[in-house]
Every structure is written in C-alpha cells, then in structure tokens.
Chain A
Amino acid sequence: MEILQYSLRKLITGIPLILGVTLISFVLMVYYGPDKTYELVGKNPTAEQIAEVRHELGYDKSFVVRYGEYLKELATMDFGYSDSTGERVSSILVRTIPISLALIIPGFVLGNLLGIILALVAAYHRGTWTDKLIMGGSVVGMSISFLIVIIAFQIIFSSSYGLNWFPVRGWEVYSFMDYLRYVTVPTLATIFVSLGYNTRFYRAVIVEEMGRDHVRTAKAFGTPPTQLLLKSILKNGAIPIITRIMFSIPLVVISGSLLIESYFGIPGVGKVTYDAITTGDQPILKAVVGLTAALFVVTLIINDIMYKMVDPRVSLK
C-alpha cells in the first residue's frame, strides 16, 4: 500500500519532467523541424494546394494549440499515422521495439554480468598484476570508439577478409538460429564497448564495500568467501549498481541501438526514429520522445522502490 501511494505521488511529481522533455523536443523536432509540405504536394502546386497540405499537417495552427494536441495524443497514447508511410504509429512501434530489444538485451545483460565478474576478480586480487591487467584492459577498451569496434568486428566476423561467419547486415529472423546469426556480431560489439566502463564502475563499488568495517568483522568471524561476497559486499553495493543499470535502460532502448541499427541495417526503433528526424515524420517523433520521457519517470519510480527493497532504511516518504 505504501508503495502504491508512493508511486502515485511520484507519478504526479514526474509530470513536470514529462512536460519539460516534450516541450523541448517539441520545439526542436516539430516546431523547428523539417517542413514536409513540399514533399507531399505535387509538381507546380497552387497556393490552395499548399495551404491544404499545410492544414493537413497542422502547420497552420498556433504553437500552443499544436503542443496541446501533442499532450492530448500522449495522454491517450494515440499518435495517429506516420507522415511518410501512412502506417499507424502504434503499429510501427509494436513492430520495431521488440526488434530493438531482441538486438540490445543480450549485449546489455552479458556486458554487465561480465563486468561484475571481471570487477570481482580484479578487486579480489587488488594491487596484483591480475588487477592491473584487468584495469589496464578496461582503459584500453574505454578508449576505442564504438564505431571502430563495429567496423572492426564486421571485418573480422562478417567479411571475406576475416572469418566470414555471419551476415554483414540485415535482420531476417524466422527462427532462433536466424536470430543467433544476426545478433551475434552486434552483441559482441556492445559487450566489447561497455565492458571497460562496467568493469571500472563495478570494481570501484566492490573495492569501496570491501574496505568497510562490517566486512572486516565478518571476515574475522570466519564467514565463507561466497557468503561474504553475496551478503556483505554485493548487497551493500546494490544501490549504485541498481541505479546504473536502471538508468541505462531508457537510453539503451532508444539511442543505444541507433548506431548498431543504422550500421547493420536493422529495422529497429532507433533507426525508425532517426529516419523520422531526418525526414520530419512528426507523429513518430512525438510518440518516441513522449514515450521515452514517460519511461524515464517510470524508471525513476521503480528505481526508488528497488532501493527500498534492498535497503529497508530507505524511506519512501
């Protein structure tokens, strides 16, 4: 009950955030965004034809009216039809979001898990050459651009100059084997790029927790290493870890996959959004930006509730 009350209260305080995000995005992407009029009118249009198209696109209404309509669309979750393809925005999103998730989740999960494992190894051997090797490797990994990794992995795994094991681009998934064929190289690239950052972050958290008094006491009482790790170290380090993972989720869903999607030619939501920006497909933009902002607020709430779950001292008041 407390959690429900808290969530409702937080949802209400999240409204200014959603308004801010939608307003800034609306001004940038819709109000000053590309004008679609001349793409839609025929050759040698008359003034009436131009006016008609502008009316259909809603360009002739005032700023306040257009923003108000956007908020209404957001509240009712009905964004109408795409300007470019005429498809319903909701059906585009239903089609593309699962593709992006299927593309990004394996790399995201494995990147974090491997990061925690490497961080544990480094922290356990703190100060030795194992630690230095892992941390040195992390700095090297952090210094290689995502784009370079993608191109290099494509050369290594998908081209005739390398192993040529996987398809270069595309997403024709009809079975689990197809899925593995298309998802492997993007996943490897995602893991490679995130691993350095993750390892450093998790090592810092773990090392900090390992130095605390209660860990030393538990060790002195002869607590077995696994229990020490799970109960004394990871449980206490859970808050920064949860924060990091939770806050990457909204961005990973939208922009994390944009580069991979555009390079590998995968029709996910990142690619669709990017195309919408460059062509000025306003209904799609409005939907994606609005949903991302809403997702952020929901993430903030879940994040706080998870704090409460791992640390009973946290008050939800």
Chain B
Amino acid sequence: MRNLRFLAIYRLKYAALIFAILPTLISAQTKYTLSGYVRDAGNGEGLIGATVYVDEIKGGTVTNTYGYYSLSLPAGSYTMTYNYLGYTAVTETIDLTANRTYTLEMKPNELLLQAVEITSEKVNRNVTSLETGINRLDSKTIRDVPQFMGEVDIIRTILLLPGVSTVGEGATGFNVRGGNIDQNLILLDEATVFNSSHLFGFFSVFNADAVKDLTLYRGGIPAQYGGRLSSVLDVRQKEGNNKKFGGTAGIGLISSRLMLEGPIKKDKASFMVAGRRSYGDIFAPLVNPDLKGNQLFFYDVNAKVNFEIDSKNRVYLAGYLGLDKFVFSEQFASSWGNNTATLRWNHLFGNRMFSNFTAVYSDYTYSLGVPTGANAFDWRAGIRNYTLKADFSYFPNVRNTIDYGVEAIYYRFSPGKARGIGDESFFNEIAVQQEFATELAVYISNKQTITEQLSMQYGLRYSYFMNVGERDVFLYENGKPTGDDAIIGTRRYERGEVIADYGGLEPRLSINYTLDPRHSIKLGYNRMRQYLHLVSNTTAATPLDIWTPAGKYVKPAIADQISLGYFRNMKDNMYELSVEVYYKNYQNLLDYRDNAQLLLNDNLETELLSGKGRAYGLEVQLQKVKGRFTGWVSYTLARTEIQVDEINLGKFYPTNYDKTHDVSVVGLFRLNDKWQFGSTFAYMTGRPITFPDSRFVFENIVVPVYNNRNGARTPAYHRLDLSATVVSQKKADKVFFFFDRPEKWESSWTFSLYNVYARRNPYSIFFRQDADNPQQTDAYRLSIFGSIIPGVTWNLNF
C-alpha cells in the first residue's frame, strides 16, 4: 500500500513537471496574438461561449467562462466576426502587426428574438462545436419557461432537456443519463453544492435572478471537471453591472426576491447581491389555524463582487448562503442549508495564457431535533470542503487551445452527532466519527482543429483520493463487513495517516467531423471516477442523507461513457436537430442491503453493497432557436440497470429512476412587446416500484411480502403547464400600485398554470390495511399534486 501511494505521488509530481515545461515547448513560434474579452455592452458581463471567427483562415475560437479569447495568427489583415446568440453580430477588420488586445462590447439584439429572418450570420455553433451532450441555458430561457407557482427554477428547466429526468415530482436533484442524483457535480461559481434543493425538492437553490449562465454536461465531459460520474452542472452567478446601477425584484405566491447590481467603480469593479425568502409559514396559518406555530420556509442570499485591477488581473469574490427551516410546533425543528464562498483571481501571462486561481469553501449542514421535553434532542451532520485550484488555458496558435491545471480538495464529513438537550432529556450523546479525505487531480487537454472538417479535444485527468485519519476503523472477519457480528476489532489511525487510497487515469475525448456547415457527427468518450457517495435509500433523497467517502470498505465508483451524435441545423440555422446515443458502464456502484439502517450508524459499511450498472439510451432534440415562436421537443429512450449479488438473486434490475420514455415539449411565443406565452408538456414512463406478491398477518398487522425489487412500474406521468407574461409599459403605470414608475423601469406580471388538466400523477403506489376493517388491504396511489396549481408573480426590472 505504501508503495502504491508513493507511486501515485511520484506520478503527480511527474505530471506537474510536464505542465511546468509544456508552455515553453510550444510557444517557440513567430506569430502575433490577438486577445481580449467579449462583453455585454449593457452591463459589462463577460459573454461565455461567444464565437470569434476569422474569415481568412475559416476558423476561430470561442470565449471561455470569463469571456476571454486569444488567437495567434501570422501577421496580416483579418476580417473578424464576433457572434453570440441573441446579440448583434459584429464584423471588424483587424490589422495584426504586433500582439494586440481587442475587447469588444456586444449589444443584445431584441429584434433577433422577435423577427424571423434577421441575422445575417450563421449561428451554427451547435454543429461546429466539439461538445456532445451539452446544454447551455441563459437566464432568459429559464425565465420564459412556465414555472411551478411562478417560481423561476433552473433545475425544473433542465429536467425538460433530453437525458435528464427525476424520480418524481418534488424530488431532490435530477438524474442524467441513468446517473443517480449524487453523480452530478453541481458547481455554483466553482463551489460544490451538495444539496441543490429547497423545500425537499420543490424548488432549487439557484435564484435565477442571480444566475448569469449555466452549462450542463451530460457526455464528453472536459478534463477540467471530475469527481462525479454522470454530469456537470456549472452555474455562474452574475458579476454585476459595471456600468450602471440596476436590479430586479419580484413578488410571487411562494417567495419574494430582490437583486441589486451596479458599479463600485465604473468599468472596473461591480457588485451583485440577491436575496430571496419564501413565506409559506406566514400565510399558511391564515388558511388553516392548526398550522399556527409551524414554520416552513427557505431563504437564500447570493453575493458577488469583482474588481479589474488592470488589464491582466481581475479578482472575484462570490458567496452563497441558503437555509431551509422547518418547525413543527414545539414537537420538532429542523434546518438545512448550503454555504459557499469562492475567491478567484484571473491573470493573463502575456497574451497567450489565461489563468485562473481559485479558493473555494463549501459546506452543507443539517440539524434536527425536539426542542423541549423529556425526549428533547439535537442532531447535527454535514459535509465541508476546501478547494484550491489553478487552471490555465494556453493558446499557442489558432488551431490549438491547451487547458491544464491542478486541483486539491480537503473534505470533512460529519455523519452525525446527537445529544439530549435541557434538564429533562433522557438522551445520551452519540457521535458518529468524522471522516477526512483529500482529493487531488491534475489534468491536461488540447482542443485541436485538425482540418476544416475535423476537430477534436483530447485530454487526460489523473485523480487521487486519500481517506485519512484520525479515526478508528472497524476490522471485520475476512475483511468483509457483513454485519455487526463480523467485527473482530478496531484499528486506530492517527491524524493524517492514510486509511485507504485510490487513484487512476480518466481519459476524455471529443471528436467533431463537420460534414458541411449544416451537419456534423460527434463522438465522445469519458471515464469518470467518483470518490464520494450520497448514502440514501429512500425513494427521493431527504435533506438528512449524508455523504460518505470511499475508504477501507467502500470503493470509488467508475463510469465509462461513450456517446455518438448527429447534429444538423436547418432553415438557416433556425432549427437545430441533435440525435445522440450513449452507453455507460458503471463499476462499484453503491447499493444497500435490504432494510438497511443508514442514519447515525457507526458501522455504515455493513449496510452497503457494491454492484455494477449499465445505462444506454437515445436522445433526440429538435429546437427552434429563432423567431417569435421558439422552443424544443426532446425525446429520450433509455434503460438503466444495476446488478448486485445480494439483491434480486443477482439479476440486473431497473433503478428507481429508470424511465423508458421521456418526452418534453417547450413552446414559447412572443405575440408582441406586451404579451408572451409559454407552455410545456412532459410525459414520462412510470418509475420502477416493488409490488407485494402475498401477505401475512402478524398479530393484527397485515404485512405485505415483497420479493421482486423494482419488478413493477407506476402508471405514466404527464403534465401540461402554461404561462403568460404581460409587460405593462404605460407611462402612468404605477409600480405595484404605490408610486409612479420611472421611465426606465419595466414591470411585468407572469401568470402560470401548473398541471393544467389536474392529472393526479402517481408518485408512488403503496399498500396499507384498512384502519376500520383490518383484514382488508388496499393499494393506494400517492400524488404529490392532486389538482391544477396556479401561480402569479410580479416582476420589476430597474
């Protein structure tokens, strides 16, 4: 074991050495570099993924997550076209006789979204980009899709994308291409978000007002990301308008929100701060007086400042604070929430190397307890991590972009500590030992344009994980944690001493073959390693579920995914079609023994099982991106199965979230400047569920006998939502009835209907004996929503 660890460290050092000498190897060329930022003219926000096209070389580049681009070209005069969807394209002639910077501010083109035939440029990024299985959404699209109770919600919106599904209405998280919810790396300004839900899953933690852009990677995941098997959801918060002060506000049925942004120093420094709080607890007692004294609310605060020190240095500080609180009179109280902080420094080494140094703190904590009385107690658990990262992008020439970097994460897992509180309580203190771990990674990848038709991105990531002391670890007979009775002793590990370590290479590959500007074929492969697992065996994850690291008895999970896609744009890029197939193979997936006890369990490993999995599917999406009518249709045909020796006699069985068919239809229609309409329709095959095949009566309790796990399915799920937004632009209009609206303020009302035809969609089917006639047993369908749910929101932009 010691030798292995030495080898791993040796490899890390070796890799670091390559990174250090790499730039000097490649930069020995005589070309000039054109570099700079592409930003929004209205608020100075960097535009992510804007294309920079050089006519003369029939090629170009794309801005990175900070809006930065760099191109190295031989001296000469070039016709450059800057393009970003929804913005007016800009064409410039640039004489390149020396290294120069050119920062461009692009204007949003309202017309583009309204008229059919406007753009002269072919926006065919969908076809030409290397990425497969990727979706990028800006906050506008997210806002326009009809929402549940009028609350704009990122996670609900991505559920409408192909390959993304959920176990049920109001369930925490999302499933991507057969991945469990813990297989998604969710990043908010590079900080890991461990629980993406408010209110058990009805709303997401992302306040759409504070979000600038999000990217979901389902396949072809670039080498810079790692640590989760199935997807990356990279959410970037707004940087704040560095030109003028402004904001948005909204009042809805569920929550109210306010976002303010503005320059601290014009064009140099800006801030953004956003807050949101729900108020169900305030109104619920008015409807039902029995609910008085109960609290059920969430809030979150997003804040970000950035400062451009000079043209080569910019620093950002971003933070998020969220909390759900739930008090059930004096009998019960619980709260949970994420906190994150990100400090980031962008630095340009010359014109050709962009660097980003990041320090991140992220924490998820929950507590619950009974506040008073004889069984008063308090229970806390959580996970915390600290991350240090350095990412570099090197632009040696126009055909290559090399990304490389290093990352180190330190984790502290607190699986739970419970103690009695107050004088009356008869509870003792129980603490499950904390666990500590370090995850290290280095990566390098190159994006290369080989010919006009063929481009590829190939990369390699090496990750290494150490579960470390201090901690006592149970020892089991034959080294197998089969149960409490197999414990033969404990071994004490000192602080920092390695308990178990794992590591390995993660190759990544994306290939694009562009047949012509309208269609292309893409191939993606990625291997991912995941060293943390969310321990949860309930239908929907609860806020109480804990994360546990790989260790002496739990191996890290590995997934290999291969995907092949056909991309085609039609009618002058008005329609985008993508057809993708994928196959995924999983190793060391976590499952649970029948009837496992997972909470406050000091020898959790005895309840865990390891299995293998496979997931495969077909995804089709047809999107209309321009015109008054926009939207998409997506269809997913998929299968996800797992095989564990101890369950279902070792046969493959479908996972809880296996959905054979999943259809989403999104239609957005802009009638005129005043009215806009949205609709979504979703259809999903029912989820796998276990039915009893017989019963027995124990004392007077009728007990169902279950044998075939996930052998049946709930009926299908389908739902239609509608929304209408009206922008009242009359000058005399008063803002929310109170005061005259200043000229530049714009207010709007959004009305929404969720579950229009009031279908009682099955969440689960369960079995119960009749309370009055105990011999009688029945099947029941649980629907989270039994009727149509209206929503109304008032929004203000200023």
- A and B bind: no
